[in-house]
A and B are shown apart, each in its own frame.
Chain A
Amino acid sequence: GAGVSQSPRYKVAKRGQDVALRCDPISGHVSLFWYQQALGQGPEFLTYFQNEAQLDKSGLPSDRFFAERPEGSVSTLKIQRTQQEDSAVYLCASSPGVNTEAFFGQGTRLTVV
C-alpha cells in the first residue's frame, strides 16, 4: 500500500490483558514514530525509531509499554497488563528522513474494559 498501515484498527482488551499493535510504515522511510491520542486531546509523543534504533522512548508512560522495530521497517507497540487509562488511539507515523514530513496511519483504537 502507499500509506502507513496499522493493525488492528480496533482492539478491545480486558484489563490486565497484553496487547500488540502493528505499524507498517511507508517503504523506505527511515523515521518511525508512535503517538497516543486520548479523546479530545492532541497526539502525545511516545517513542521514535531511526531505522532499527530506538533513539527516544521518553514518552512511554510506564514500563508496561514497549516498542520495537527489529529490521528497521515494521514496528510493534506492546502494552502489558493493560489498564483503563491506556484506552486511546495509538497512531504510527513515518517519514523519509529525520526532519521531513511525517505521514500518519489511521491508528488503532484501543478500549480497555
Chain B
Amino acid sequence: RKEVEQDPGPFNVPEGATVAFNCTYSNSASQSFFWYRQDCRKEPKLLMSVYSSGNEDGRFTAQLNRASQYISLLIRDSKLSDSATYLCVVRGSNYKLTFGKGTLLTVNP
C-alpha cells in the first residue's frame, strides 16, 4: 500500500462547480499535512496546510481526520485557473515530504 493515496481522477467540471479531493495516508505518526498544486510542466507549489480543526482560504477548504487518516480539499465556485494537478502531501516525524500521485482537475468554460 502506498503511503499516500489519492482519488485517481481526472476530474472534469464546469466553471462554478464544487469539487472535492480525497486522500488517505498510512503512517499514523504523520505530523503535518498539505495540499500542493502543480500546473502542467511546472513545479509543485504549496496551496495550503491542513489542520485538525479544518481551515479555509477563500474558495478552498481543507479538512483532516486523524482517526481515519483522511485528508480532503474542497474547491467551491471553481474557476478556469483552478485547472491543475492537486497533490496530497504528508510529513512524518522527520523532514521528509511524501506525495500522493496527484489528481488532475480540468475546469471547463
Contact = CB atoms under 8 A, between A and B. Distances in A.
Interface in B84-109: 87, 91, 94-102
Of B42, B43, B91, B97, most A-chain CB atoms within 10 Å: B43
B42 A45 contact: no
Given A48-B96, A56-B95, 20 more contacts: A33-B96, A41-B101, A41-B102, A42-B100, A43-B44, A43-B87, A44-B99, A45-B98, A55-B95, A56-B94, A56-B96, A91-B44, A93-B97, A99-B91, A99-B95, A102-B46, A102-B97, A104-B43, A105-B43, A106-B42
Interface in A12-36: 31, 33, 35
Contacts of A43: 44, 87, 99
Interface residues of B, number: 19
A104 B99 contact: no
B45 interface: yes
Contact of B96 (A42, A45, A101): A45
A106 B32 contact: no
Interface of A: 31, 33, 35, 40-45, 48, 50, 55-56, 91, 93, 98-99, 101-102, 104-107
